[in-house]
Structure 1
Amino acid sequence: MRKNQIDVIIPTYRPDERVVLLVRRLLKQSRRPDHIYLVNTVSESFPKELTEFPDEVIVTHIRPEQFDHGGTRHEAAMRSKAEFLLYMTQDAVPVGEDLIETLYRCFEDEKVGAAYARQLPAPDCHLIERYTRSFNYPPESCVKSAEDLPKMGIKTYFCSDVCAMYRRPIYESLGGFEEKMIFNEDMVMAAKIIQSGYKVAYAAEAKVIHSHNYSCMQQFKRNFDLAVSQTDFPQIFEEVKSENEGIRLVKETARYLIRIKKPWLIFSLVTKSGFKFLGYRLGKQYKKLPGQVIRRCTMNRRYWENNS
């Protein structure tokens, strides 16, 4: 292990100019990463610019059937020798040049095992999703531990590999990311960190632009996969329920829409929330569903093909 080194790991699929922009911004950070590992799932396109970066940008290609949310990230970590591992997604855009430095400072507390960044909405982000960003990623930083479970519930375990840094010795001591994960590998690892007596930091000053305008059906499928991941780890999620946090988000969003005098958007909020809830409830019962139904409900059909 190379002490104080930071490597960035980014899984990519059909990378475009946003990935090129992401790598360029990472290379201009005040704390420049020692290596950037791009783990690309082979597709019909791969920008030539990604092969023309300095030697510290290392590209590995894998077949589509090899990709796994947890396993692919963990394999990349095993290729790295850095003490700190920064995971990002290909659609996250760093804001400013102090993203890495700000996350790194969180680890001055030796009990911090992970630190994740604030996600800001993109310019085209819809109003309701824009509020959801501010709900999940407020402007105040915090450090979470097991002591926060009674007050924060499921939010204690919240973490996002859209942009999250991990301390390697703690990461490895907990076995790394699970090898077979449909989704949610970040939250499972954060829960392990918390349950093992360590802490997870939320660094609001570390910012990336990242948001999605999901349709109702996309929300349904995403929440189906989320529930599958939680069902597969009952030792983590049985005692901290997600439903209460979901209800609180809906209520807070409705109040916000009334406050800004756009109450007609509550219909859209309720509709999308219904799709989310239905997807989540079905995902919780996925072991009772026929394979054909599961493949219609999931965002990640290949996961089921590889693990059926």
Structure 2
Amino acid sequence: MKISIVCPLYNASKYIEELNSNILNQDRDGIDELEVVYILTKSKDNSKELLEKNKLNYIEIDSKDFSHSLTRENSGKKLKCDILVFISQDIIMKDNKWLINLVNPIMSGEVQATFSKQICKIENIEKYTREKNYPEESRIVSKEDIDKMGLLTFFYSDASSAVKKSVYDELKAYDNKDLIINEDMYFAHKLILAGYKIKYCSDSQIYHSHDFKLKELYKRYFDTGVFFKDNRKFKEYNSNESGLALAKYVFKRAREEKNTKVLFDILPNFGARFIGKTLGEHYNKLPKTFVINSSSAPYYWNRKNTKN
């Protein structure tokens, strides 16, 4: 059984050595061969020097060629392996069982794709949203769960995920589309509709922490809004986990832990999410001044008159 791990990098000098060490220290019971491929977008720090110093396997691409979907698709389809694992540069594996617990359900034939539990180490709103989105119990979803779970059926994160390589190739990954966000949800939707199963593995655990400023949240959710506008098929599904329900959960947990900072942050934080997503869903009707605040403004502006 051969496992290939693909990890995109950008200005990643503070992550590379610890990340690679964590990978090499993983339990490999049942894994015959493990390869790690780093995809380095030309960076302003010494990421390239560190990769070469540690003799790590990497491919360098220009910043204009990076795409959340196409970079993964182009690298993944070239690899010859049984299971393809995608990770992001800023994760920290909680223990040496992360990898084997992630790939075991695929190796056994239980499912065709998996993703890990994410834990936030910062005492902020993300700590509680991670609790809500990544519960203690594992679960398996399939096409039969769509009526009950709606959009949540396709919840899937390639910050730490695995997929059977033959299925990945069969489904043609992201259909050669340049997706700026939610490429993992896009693929999960294809996988589920094709009759395959996804397992959320709560015993495969990573630390993945962010502390977004309001402007960064706005940009992120503007991107998300554009994704849903450009991929209208997701509008067909019920969203059982509303933003309001998530905000209520955060409020409840913050009160329990007397986290005053989070209590004061809830309104502006979820407000930025709501405004960003709403404007993103109408980006081609917006004055340029709104779009320019997005992280990929030229991308949106060039597509303003595109029919969807």
Query: What is the deviation of 1:127?
Result: 3.1
- 1:242 Cα deviation after fit: 4.5
- Consecutive unaligned residues in structure 1, runs of 5 or more: none
Inter-CA distance 280–25: structure 2 relative to 1 (3 Å threshold): same
Match of 2:273 in 1: 276
Distance 1:264 1:76, change over 3 A: closer
- 1:232 equivalent in structure 2: 230
In 2, are the aligned partners of 1:227 and 1:284 still within 8 Å (CA)?
A: yes
Could you tell me which amino acid in structure 1 is paired with residue 296 of structure 2? N
Scaled by the length of structure 2, the TM-score of the pair is 0.90
Residue identity (%): 28
- Letter aligned with residue 279 of structure 2: L
* Aligned position for 1:41: 41
Q: 1:307 to 1:86 in 2, by over 3 A?
A: farther
> Is 1:12 matched with 2:9?
yes
Distance 2:103 2:87 in 1: 14
**Equivalent position SS for 2:82:** strand
Distance 1:164 1:264, change over 3 A: closer
Partner SS, residue 109 of structure 2: coil
8 A contact 1:85–1:166 mirrored in 2: yes
Q: Deviations over 1:136-173 (max 9, x none)?
A: 11111111112222332222111111100111111122
TM-score (norm 1): 0.90
Deviations 1:205-247 (A, max 9, x none): 1011101011111111101101211222112x11225484322
Asked whether 1:93 is paired with 2:88, we answer no
What is the alpha-carbon distance in structure 2 between the residues aligned to residue 262 and residue 303 of structure 1?
A: 39
8 A contact 2:113–2:199 mirrored in 1: yes
Q: Secondary structure at the match of 1:115?
A: strand
Q: Tell me the equivalent position of 1:184.
A: 182
**Separation in 1 of the partners of 2:297 and 2:240?**
25
Q: Among 99, 119, 141, which residue is 1:144 paired with?
A: 141
Deviations 1:89-130 (A, max 9, x none): 0001112112111111111453622100011112xx133221
Structure 2: distance between partners of 1:258 and 1:44? 42
> Following the alignment from structure 1 to structure 2, what is the Cα–Cα distance between the partners of residues 153 and 285?
23
Unaligned runs of 5+ in 2: none
- 1:231-269 per-position Cα deviation (integer Å, ceiling 9, x unaligned): 22112x112254843221111112222333456743311
SS in 2 for 1:82: coil
Distance in 2, matches of 1:285 and 1:153, equals: 23
Counterpart residue identity of residue 59, structure 1: Y
AA aligned to 1:53 is N
User: Tell me, what secondary structure is at the counterpart of 1:221?
Assistant: helix
Q: How does 1:32-71 map to 2 (within 5 A)?
A: 34-47=34-47, 48-54=49-55, 57-71=56-70
Q: Which residue matches 1:254?
A: 251
Change (3 A) 1:49 1:244: closer
Contact 1:142 1:203 (8 Å CA) reproduced: yes
Distance 1:289 1:241, change over 3 A: farther
AA of the residue aligned to 1:255: K
Deviation at 1:79, TM superposition (A): 2.3
Alignment of 1:187-202 (within 5 A): 187-202=185-200
The residue type paired with residue 42 of structure 1 is: K
Change (3 A) 1:45 1:267: closer
1:133 and 2:134 are equivalent in the alignment: no
Moved over 6 A (4+): 305-308
Decide whether the 8 Å contact of 1:115 with 1:164 is kept in 2: yes
| RMSD of aligned alpha carbons | 2.2
Aligned amino acid, residue 45 of structure 2: S
In structure 1, C-alpha distance between the alignment counterparts of 2:210 and 2:149, rounded to whole Å: 25
Moved more, 254-263 or 81-90: 254-263
CA distance 1:181–1:49, change in 2 (3 Å): same
SS at 2:263's partner residue? helix
Distance 1:241 1:281, change over 3 A: farther
Cα pair distance change 1:267/1:150, threshold 3 Å: farther
Q: 2: CA distance between counterparts of 1:80 and 1:306?
A: 33
Q: What is the rounded CA distance, in whole Å, between the counterparts of 1:93 and 1:7 in structure 2?
A: 18
Compared CA separation, residues 36 and 265, structure 1 to 2 (3 A):
closer
Amino acid across the alignment from 1:69? H
Among 167, 171, 182, the alignment partner of 1:170 is: 167
Bigger drift between 222-231 and 39-48 goes to 39-48
Per mean C-alpha deviation after superposition, the further-off stretch among 165-174 and 109-118 is 109-118
